[in-house]
Structure 1
């Protein structure tokens, strides 16, 4: 696909409206983690697991719309989150943010790659290494080489298929099996899923909100879509995206109920295998397969494309300011292949569960949530210490994992960042209003 400029490769040729904006955002956030992670959370935390996944995305996307409106008013001509941060941070803070953003993007692609490999193994019996290789090759061609036009065209088809699957498959099973029959089966075999005073499940919801805000607020693909829209359409687009997104985790969580109401299970992967076997209608099976692959590839593609955009526009261009458009686009294609190969190697070597990954990297997101807000709300350049507070939170969170569970470690990370930020803001306020006041000077 030929692009005349690097900006066109990143942003497209024209601004997008609310309709395409919502589709593009949903295609980014209806991911393999949404489809396979929410059922895993349901099994582990009961009904609050699926609810937690729904709320974390809905509230985070809605809130990002209001933050994004301020970003657009302050800096309207950017393409990436790096463009904005370059204007708001000093050099040390800027490069620290770039490093953190690259780490979080690799994590996002790692999650999608793992989900893709597992899905190919379940559906077609392909060895996971071969499935991963096929998955990454396709994603590099479709997103890394195809650019934003290819991503948007694929997003429209993917969202139609996703919501068709999210509506038709649960309705087919619940009507066929009977809602009362399913409910009685859950009460008999898995009554813990229906417990309402499940405090661990409630804690998961609160922790999920914290992770969700961090994920969305530092997501490079979401910032790119923010700059693709007209300013007045930013808030309604993200609000609508959040409301629609909330329905997806709930729908796919209900699919697992269809499997477990008849007895026990070994692990989450055996549940997915049983789900595929229980979809006895060819049309619905094809719909589920297309939906799952579409969500995974769309999310990976958005992450890959946004990472390429950041590296070329906010790293390479600083060292090669006179690079031609042709050179930047050629580098984009090279990076697509290199990042795809790196993601393949990481996914092949590490194989944790999706929920484990959510908690592990949740420490990063929980530590970044407040600093990003403070940076956006700060007038002029933000002090480097604002980002250093996130690093302090990261150190506290990962250090505490030796002594506490994953969710408590996330809160330790967030609390450490918040207390450090609060101390910094208090000292700054006292210095400005007391120690440097005219009366004090006299």
Structure 2
């Protein structure tokens, strides 16, 4: 039997990367201070290390113990709905901030574009791998360009001066609620690592220790993206901008510090990355799902997510609120697996 070659780790990082991480990390910085990015990186690496003993049986056993099919499909559906809601909400913010489109129109416009791309890619599935590379390159470029560009516009010394004298609370090391952030982030990251066990095994290969080194490199690379994007919100806080929604702060700062042409170019890059995340997540669900009868589920979830994004925006729900709630919901559902496994073992003993 031919041994399958492990997939390129670039595709794994591309799956993890998304525009939503920019806004989520930024919002965490607003609430918990400048050290939030470092804290989240530490929790992310810790969650990966703690998950390793649980991932080892999945990597070494070609036929691991599987979760009940209905539970796996439910977990995938909730996770996919989370991704769709976050990125539809972001798409509306982007088009509204950079191109002055009405928010509701922006969301439905994004939904229409997404469906068109999905229909096209359904006939040319090989292009999905190309789009993953494009997404990785785009987000890598943004991680390098945006922090550098923003700090060049404002100046590092000026940013520190404004924080020290006008926003000293942001520089405090002991932020209120930081332990809540650590606990919630750990639960979410840990659960999602375990959920991705079978997918991670495709990148790790058959040799556990070699595969772990490969995955750890991916974790470190992803962590550098988190740190890079977290620095931008520090500058945004010093601008004293008035916004209707907290997640608009970064976008309005970019618009303020840039010329119209540059801000439009950045807006287009961010929007394309958002579209790519929506489309690639659609196909990722199809690949991970075992039940072909659920092939219409992503389409239904897109429709639900677009409506939810509009409602949540007008209700002033932030991306971090949505991500935390859905992440804890996934964590709670995931805990049902050992419960069902235990009940099955008890029945067998009888």
**Is the shorter-chain TM-score for this pair beyond 0.5, marking a shared fold?**
yes
Matches within 5 A, 1:260-279: 260-263=237-240, 265-266=242-243, 267-279=245-257
Residue aligned with 1:146, SS: helix
Specify the alignment match of 2:277 in structure 1: 299
Q: Distance in 2 between matches of 1:152 and 1:98?
A: 24
Aligned with 2:177: secondary structure?
Answer: helix
**Partner residue in 2 for 1:344:** 306
Q: 2:318 and 2:57 mapped to 1: Cα distance? A: 37
- In 2, distance between residues paired with 1:151 and 1:32? 18
Q: 2:155, 2:173 → 1: CA distance?
A: 23
Aligned with residue 285 of structure 1, among 255, 263, 288: 263
Q: Does 1:243 align with 2:220?
A: yes
Matched, 1:383 2:342: yes
Larger Rg: 1
Distance 1:287-1:202 versus aligned 2 partners, 3 A rule: farther
Matched residue, 2:35: 48
Name which of structure 1's ranges 352-361 and 202-211 shifts more when overlaid on structure 2: 202-211
- The offset of 1:364, in angstroms, is 1.8
Determine if the alignment matches structure 1 residue 367 to structure 2 residue 329: no
Structure 2 segments unaligned to the other structure (5+ residues): none
Taking structure 1 as reference, are residues 62 and 284 closer, same or farther at Cα in structure 2, changes over 3 Å only?
A: farther
Of residues 259-268 and 119-128 in structure 1, the stretch that sits farther from structure 2 once superposed is 259-268
CA distance in 2, matches of 1:64, 1:110: 27
Q: CA contact under 8 A between 2:33 and 2:169: conserved in structure 1?
A: yes
Q: 1:140 to 1:61 in 2, by over 3 A?
A: farther
Q: If the length of structure 1 is used for normalisation, what is the TM-score?
A: 0.65
Q: CA deviation at 1:132?
A: 1.5
CA contact (8 A) 2:241 2:253 kept: no
Match of 2:173, SS state, is coil
Paired residues of 2:23 and 2:247 also in contact (CA < 8 A) = no
Q: Whole-Å Cα distance in 1 between the matches of residues 109 and 200 of structure 2?
A: 28
Report if the CA contact (8 A) 2:18-2:277 is conserved: yes
What is the aligned counterpart of 1:353 among 300, 306, 318?
A: 318
Sort the Cα spacing of 1:35 and 1:169 in 2 relative to 1 into closer, same or farther, 3 A: same
The answer for the alignment partner of 2:185 in structure 1 is 208
Partner of 1:314: 291
**Which residue does 2:61 correspond to in 1?**
74
**Residue 198 of structure 1 aligns to a residue in which SS?**
coil
Residue in structure 1 matched with residue 25 of structure 2 by the alignment: 38
Q: 1:169 to 1:273 in 2, by over 3 A?
A: closer
Partners of 1:136 and 1:383 in 2: how far apart?
Answer: 42
- Aligned match of 2:144: 167
Contact 1:114 1:132 in 2 (8 A): yes
| Aligned CA-pair RMSD | 3.5
Shift of 1:195: 0.3
SS of equivalent residue, structure 2 residue 341? coil
Q: Provide Cα deviations, 1:352-380, integer angstroms capped at 9, x if missing partner.
A: 210111221232233356666x69xxxxx
Gaps of at least 5 residues in structure 1 are: 1-13, 77-83, 317-330, 376-380, 387-427, 437-442
Give deviations 1:107-144, integer Å, cap 9, x for gaps: 22222221122222111122222222232233334456
The C-alpha deviation readout for 1:302-336, integer Å capped at 9, x for no partner, is 3322333455x3253xxxxxxxxxxxxxx84x555
Q: TM-score normalized by structure 2?
A: 0.80
CA distance in 1, matches of 2:265, 2:142: 6
User: What's the CA shift string for 1:344-403, capped at 9, x where partnerless?
Assistant: 23333433210111221232233356666x69xxxxx933479xxxxxxxxxxxxxxxxx
With CA pairs under 8 Å and 6+ residues apart, which has the higher RCO, 1 or 2?
A: 2
Cα pair distance change 1:277/1:30, threshold 3 Å: same
Matched, 1:106 2:96: no
**Between Structure 1 and Structure 2, how many residues are aligned?**
338
**Are the equivalent residues in 2 in contact too, given 1:25–1:241 (CA < 8 A)?**
yes
Whole-Å Cα distance in 2 between the matches of residues 191 and 111 of structure 1?
31
Of 165, 169, 177, the residue aligned with 2:154 is 177
Residue of structure 2 aligned with 1:227, choices 195, 199, 202: 202
1:288–1:29 Cα change, 3 Å: farther
Structure-2 change in CA distance of 1:296 and 1:230 (3 Å): same
User: Which SS does the other structure have where 1:88 is aligned?
Assistant: coil
